[in-house]
Amino acid sequence: MSEDINKELLSSVVSTVRAASSLAAQDVDFYRNLDKEISTSLNESSKEITNMINTLLLSINENNEELESGKEGLEQYWKDFSNVMDNLFEKSDRSLDIITRSKTSNDNKSEFQYLSDSAQSDSNPSKRVTKPQLQFSRPVDNSESKPFMPLLNDKPHSIKSFTDSLIIIPESEELPSHYAHPYEVEIDKQEYNASVLQVAEPLKSQPWNSESTWVDTSEALQSMLDKLKECTEIAVDLEHHDYRSYYGIVCLMQISTRKEDFLVDTLALRDELHILNEVFADPNILKVLHGAFMDIIWLQRDLGLYVVSLFDTYHASRALGFPRHSLAYLLEKYANFKTSKKYQLADWRVRPLSKPMHAYARADTHFLLNIYDQIRNQLIRENKLAEVLFESRNVAKRRFEYSRFRPKVPSPAVFTPIEKEEPWRTLVYQYNVPSTKIELLKRIWEWRDMIARRDDESPRYIMPNQLMISLVEYTPIDPAGVISVSNVMTDHVRSNSKVIANLIKKSLEDMKSVPAGALTAFQNIDYKIGQKFASDKLTISQIQNMTALFKEIASNPSIIEKDVSKKIDPILFSNIFLSKNEIVLYDHDKRHVVTNEQLAGRAEEVEGFMNEANNTTLAINIESSAEMHVEEPEAKEKNALFSPPISNVENASSSNTDGFEDMNDIIVLKDVKKRTNIKDHKKKQGMPNKEVIDYSKLDTILSKEKRENSKKRKGDPFGEENGLEGPKAAKKRKQINRGKNVSFKR
């Protein structure tokens, strides 16, 4: 009986879905305006469905808001309704799993556990949260005036000393000046605990109904540290927030041992958590994380923590070929636990945390050590453990760096908030911004980034990308136009509407004064001088000034070090013309500066060689033209047939001791080598006349002026001198219009 009801219910649902899909594919508004009966029927059906949805919402939770009838009301509340339905389907799925669970299942297999959830939206409170950055004892610095320096006061479990680890590395061709990863040597050289390499029986996790420990004081932190030092492995996870901060802030740290779970308030203990390096840098204590490629960056950026002996279960799942690599999949596969994604993007700055948020954070690490035990055994059996440990080491060696000092060649070992040199160019391709407005987009982007750094807010909180594109598209030049350009309006844009309007107006004026071709030509030109971060664009006035300076330098080079040094723009000339040590010598990979005395010595040496070459008399042999004549073809072929081989030419010429020159040998050599038709000369029996030329007594050719009225004979028979015209080119045929513009008369 129940099966028949299910089939009938399923067929009704399928027919309803099909009818709704076909109706949505039609232009309903058109038919509504065309026929009053259809309009009335649609309104009645819409009200009926809205009442059914409201009844469903109130049956789930009496505090839910009811949907308003009409298109606007449905669109406004439809997202909230979707969230409620997602929770309802999740609960239904959970109930169906419990009902349909087989009674004959393996007794050793534990039943599924579920994360307790709440229908109320605790993750998005209506009140605004006070920015915790204002309470930090170490103010947030977004200026990027120098490379990121590790936040270390000491270095426990070190191989490389603390002082040597904090030495800044000078700039190279691929990397700007930076601090190296302080624990890179320890991560590479220190071995994992021996228990990691052995197969062992997995240890069960503590019951889920046990309580976690909240750590937000110095006393509780020290007590937790003492307990962690006694462990051989711990599980770690972080909760991060980046919407109300430029770089982002770590809001919560979860640490689980075999016996206890800890939730650490990283906002309250931000400046004290560096003492956890006694555990995190200990190679004998294994740290288990899932997807740690960003957790490693957040730990060192905010807390000054570095991880040695890392085991990343994400790379383990990839090595084992799992269909999915998320933590939720591992929890279902190994721990029979289903978590929820509701709080994945929650605002973790909220204090105190709600019970569902407590449970969600705790679930990320509570079962992770048991999952590690099972995955480790499987990796050892399949001989894949070494690969996972190698990838885990690479993740642990990642370091954070400011965007201004990012590597010139992108590297996975270095993370920067802005990885591209021109991040605004992505929007050009994404929103098809015309080339004439790229400069305006860049200036608005730079203004947004400047305000975000100043107020420690994310750029998308200051001005979303969609709002930025709207400003570029409509180009409002007054405050009212800026505010009304889009329905999405932020507080920063509203309060700075006049500044943005003036910025757009000034940009438009600058772009009008620059030709379109010149504006496009300079879009891809970057001037990277010294440690300069951003690429500069040249204006018309700058180009004119530079042109005048180049002309002045060309006319009088001696003014470079005196007068021009006070006028030249340092962006272009400071490291080129005015540098005293630009000439260097490299010897065995060492750089040596060439002094002025060495340059003067080189110049005297070259001048001596040149004078010696000028004083040398050269003599060459010139055959008289009367003694040379063209050889007949028959004679040439005859001489070619009886000529000696090429290999013997050198011997023949060297054996000629009477001073005569064998012209036939020379011709054969040239004929065989070049394979060209070269005129030959008959062999000369007598002594050829020699004429000696002394080039030192002749006039130099380069110093003579070119003759103006040269009487060189011209061989053009159709030239102007002969008064004849050459053959003319064919005339171009007149194009005939093949359209209907020609009338036909009979």
Least confident of 90-104, 183-197, 418-432: 90-104
Question: pLDDT digit string (tens) for 260-299?
Answer: 999 999 999 999 999 999 999 999 999 999 999 999 999 9
Task: Say whether both 3 and 48 belong to one domain.
Answer: no
Question: How far are the Cα atoms of 63, 335, 715 from residue 76, in angstroms, in the given order?
Answer: 18, 40, 91
Residue where one domain finishes, among candidates 378, 396, 415? 415
Residue 259 lies inside a defined structural domain of this protein? yes
Radius of gyration of the CA atoms of the chain, in A: 42
Distance CA(347)–CA(358), nearest Å, equals 13
Task: Say whether both 457 and 375 belong to one domain.
Answer: no
Give the chain's domain count.
Answer: 7
Identify the residue with better confidence: 711 or 104: 711
DSSP 405: G
| Predicted pLDDT of residue 9 | 80
Residue 454 lies inside a defined structural domain of this protein? yes
Residue in this structure with the two tokens 């500044």, named with its chain if needed: 499
Residue 516 lies inside a defined structural domain of this protein? no
Residue 486 lies inside a defined structural domain of this protein? yes
| Predicted pLDDT of residue 87 | 78
Q: Could you list the residue range(s) of the whole structural domain that residue 344 is in?
A: 136-415
Could you tell me the two tokens for 316?
């383990």
The amino acid occupying position 8 is: E
Question: pLDDT digit string (tens) for 470-523?
Answer: 999 999 999 999 999 998 899 999 999 999 999 999 999 988 876 655 555 445
| Predicted pLDDT of residue 637 | 46
Task: Say whether both 557 and 646 belong to one domain.
Answer: no
Task: Say whether both 397 and 467 belong to one domain.
Answer: no
Task: Say whether both 215 and 341 belong to one domain.
Answer: yes
Residue 111 lies inside a defined structural domain of this protein? no
**Residue % of the chain over a pLDDT of 70:** 68
User: Of 279, 272, 282, nearest to 304 (Cα)?
Assistant: 272
pLDDT level of residue 704 (50, 70, 90 thresholds): low
User: What residues contact 454, with CB distance under 8 A and at least 6 apart?
Assistant: 142
Residue 266 lies inside a defined structural domain of this protein? yes
Residue 713 lies inside a defined structural domain of this protein? no
Question: pLDDT digit string (tens) for 227-254?
Answer: 999 999 999 999 999 999 999 999 999 9
Task: Say whether both 255 and 335 belong to one domain.
Answer: yes
Asked whether residue 672 carries a pLDDT value surpassing 70, the answer given is no
Task: Say whether both 24 and 59 belong to one domain.
Answer: no
Asked whether residue 457 carries a pLDDT value surpassing 80, the answer given is yes
> Length of the chain in residues, anyone?
746
CB atoms within 10 A of CB 421: 14
Task: Say whether both 548 and 604 belong to one domain.
Answer: no
Task: Say whether both 238 and 290 belong to one domain.
Answer: yes
Task: Say whether both 597 and 478 belong to one domain.
Answer: no
pLDDT level of residue 711 (50, 70, 90 thresholds): low
Distance CA(251)–CA(244), nearest Å, equals 12
| Predicted pLDDT of residue 534 | 39
Residue in this structure with the two tokens 């009674």, named with its chain if needed: 103
CB 535 within 8 A of CB 421: yes
Task: Say whether both 262 and 200 belong to one domain.
Answer: yes
Backbone angles phi, psi at 712, to 5 degrees: -70, 135
DSSP 170: P
Q: What is the DSSP string of 83-104?
A: HHHHHHHHHHHHHHHHHS--TT
- List the CATH number of the domain containing 352: 3.30.420.10
Task: Say whether both 265 and 379 belong to one domain.
Answer: yes
Identify the residue with better confidence: 512 or 77: 512
Residue where one domain finishes, among candidates 360, 386, 415? 415
Residue 685 lies inside a defined structural domain of this protein? no
Asked whether residue 60 carries a pLDDT value surpassing 50, the answer given is yes
CB 546 within 8 A of CB 572: yes
User: What residues contact 363, with CB distance under 8 A and at least 6 apart?
Assistant: 115, 331, 337, 339
Between the ranges 256-260, 529-533, 687-691, where is the mean pLDDT highest?
256-260
pLDDT level of residue 213 (50, 70, 90 thresholds): very high
